[in-house]
Amino acid sequence: MAAAKARADAGNSADGIRVFISKFGGCKDTRMYRGATSATSARAGSHSPSTKASASGEQSPTGKFRNGATPHAIVLAKRLGLRYVTSDALSIRRTRRGRGWIYIGHNQHPIRDPKIIRRLARLAVPPAYAEVLYAADPHAHLQAVGRDAAGRLQYRYHSRWEDVRELRKSRRLARLADALPRIERRIAQRLASEQCTREFACAAIIDLVTRSAIRAGNETYTRLRGTRGAVTLLKSNVTVRGKVITLKFRSKGGKIITKEVAAVRLARAIRPLSRLPGRRLFQHQLDNGEVRTVTAHEVNICLREMAGTSISLKDFRTLLASAGVLETLARVKPAPRERQRRKQVRAAVCAAADDLANTPTICRKSYVHESVVRAFEQGVLERFSTSLKRSRSPIRRARVLAEIIATVGKPSWSAGQRGSARAR
């Protein structure tokens, strides 16, 4: 899992999908990204940044637990005028001095250079983060790392490296838009079965996520914090009356999520699953009668098999948020003043954030593709308004979204242009 996350950061339902996309807007500048490593409750042993491992097996910020360089990442960093570094290359630490901070260099002396101090301060690493380390090189792709109150490592990247993440997000959304018809057919086929197989349970989870936009969930969060997502829902979290499915559960961050989904096929699929022994809703039964729970990893593998390409459940949330903001902004004319346009964008993002049970800030940075906002601010959405009105099919609407992102969101360096970048 750590290796997969590192690779990701190096770049870092027939009618089910129909309902998901047709409801578009319904149902980090912090650049510090979550979930670097799934922390256990608290690290045992030393709190020194140089500690290589904890009792839980998780490495410290200076360890080589993640951010391992690949040839592609190194070349890409060079194209951006950056230097790809691992987290153990970060050598500046901070310490409290009165109400503020001082920064200690690798020679254990306080840094006096105002230019360096301003650069580190502008990274705006939250005061609550512990074991914070910074890059001495202003052109390092990774600029800072720290540990939040939950014990998770958080990473802050160079502003130019954000282009890499946006480009990869663009490609994933394009792949998802292209794969929607295949996913739609496969979900319908698998839920037509009456056997509670692993494929049946996985298809039901995918169908639920496309309709409700809830998080996938994972065993670690459930075990440590008691929070749940689609994969880890209990039978007591779900009520089915006719075709209406009501969800009520404690989600990430401790939020109580309550949602209603109207779906005949999904309601029909949930009934046999709820009859299996055990508290968990999404389980499957082996040929020998043994009942096992379904994991998020298994669901994502199933989804990739359906799609024939590399996507994950989180991509549906990204598609929903981006499409919701697109749908809202396409109905309004950009205000003449920048401040007014920001208010228009925030209103659209708030509507999408409410549906995802996220804060507007997280929704904007993690789920809404920046190209959608840029297209609105530049007046480009007006060119696609006719296409959006004609695209009643959810699949065609998703493809319009992908086209907008491809038109507006291509970074200059992706066309082969080189350029140096300065850390902000």
Query: Is the model's pLDDT at 401 over the cut of 90?
Result: no
213 lies in some domain: yes
CATH (domain of 302):
3.90.15.10
126 lies in some domain: yes
251 lies in some domain: yes
255 lies in some domain: yes
Query: Is the model's pLDDT at 215 over the cut of 70?
Result: yes
Local confidence band at 6 (pLDDT 50, 70, 90 cut-offs): very low
Of the listed ranges 350-354, 357-361, 395-399, the one predicted with least confidence: 395-399
Residues 204 and 243 grouped into a single domain = yes
- pTM for this entry: 0.68
Residues 245 and 358 grouped into a single domain = no
Residues 110 and 125 grouped into a single domain = yes
Percentage of residues in the chain with pLDDT exceeding 90? 36
Of the listed ranges 6-10, 94-98, 298-302, the one predicted with least confidence: 6-10
405-419 pLDDT per residue, tens = 766 655 554 544 433
Residues 280 and 301 grouped into a single domain = yes
State how many domains the chain has: 3
334 lies in some domain: yes
Query: Is the model's pLDDT at 45 over the cut of 70?
Result: no
DSSP 365: I
Residues 326 and 395 grouped into a single domain = yes
Q: What pLDDT does residue 409 have?
A: 56
CATH (domain of 121):
3.30.66.10
Q: What pLDDT does residue 324 have?
A: 82
Best-predicted range by mean pLDDT among 42-51, 122-131, 223-232, 277-286?
A: 277-286
The mean pLDDT of 349-358, rounded to a whole number, is: 87
13 lies in some domain: no
The mean pLDDT of 148-156, rounded to a whole number, is: 80
Local confidence band at 338 (pLDDT 50, 70, 90 cut-offs): confident
Using H for helix, E for strand and C for coil, what is the string for the chain? CHHHHHHHHHCCCHHHHHHHHHCCCCCCCCCEECCCCCCCCCCCCCCCCCCCCCCCCCCCCCCCCCCCCCHHHHHHHHHCCCECCCHHHCCEEEEEECCEEEEECCCCCECCCHHHHHHHHHCCCCCCCEEEEECCCCCECEEEEEECCCCCEEEEECCCHHHHHHHHHHHHHHHHHHHHHHHHHHHHHHHCCCCCCHHHHHHHHHHHHHHHCCCCCCHHHHHHHCCCCCCCCEHHHEEEECCEEEEEEECHHHCEEEEEEECHHHHHHHHHHHCCCCCECCEEECCCCCEEECCHHHHHHHHHHHHCCCCCHHHHHHHHHHHHHHHHHCCCCCCCCHHHHHHHHHHHHHHHHHHHCCCHHHHHHHHCCHHHHHHHHCCCHHHHHHHHHHCCCHHHHHHHHHHHHHHHCCCHHHHCCCCCCCCC
Quote the mean pLDDT of the chain. Answer: 77
CATH (domain of 362):
1.10.132.120
Residues 280 and 381 grouped into a single domain = no
Domain end call among 307, 331, 349: 307
Residues 154 and 262 grouped into a single domain = no
169 lies in some domain: no
Domain region containing 202: 193-307
Residues 202 and 283 grouped into a single domain = yes
214 or 9: whose pLDDT is higher?
A: 214
Residues 69 and 135 grouped into a single domain = yes
Residues 143 and 86 grouped into a single domain = yes
Q: What pLDDT does residue 60 have?
A: 37
Q: What pLDDT does residue 414 have?
A: 52
Query: Is the model's pLDDT at 161 over the cut of 60?
Result: yes
The mean pLDDT of 69-93, rounded to a whole number, is: 82
Residues 222 and 326 grouped into a single domain = no
Q: What pLDDT does residue 9 have?
A: 42
Residues 243 and 298 grouped into a single domain = yes
Q: What pLDDT does residue 39 have?
A: 37
Domain end call among 287, 307, 327: 307
Domain end call among 279, 307, 335: 307
Local confidence band at 53 (pLDDT 50, 70, 90 cut-offs): very low
26 lies in some domain: no
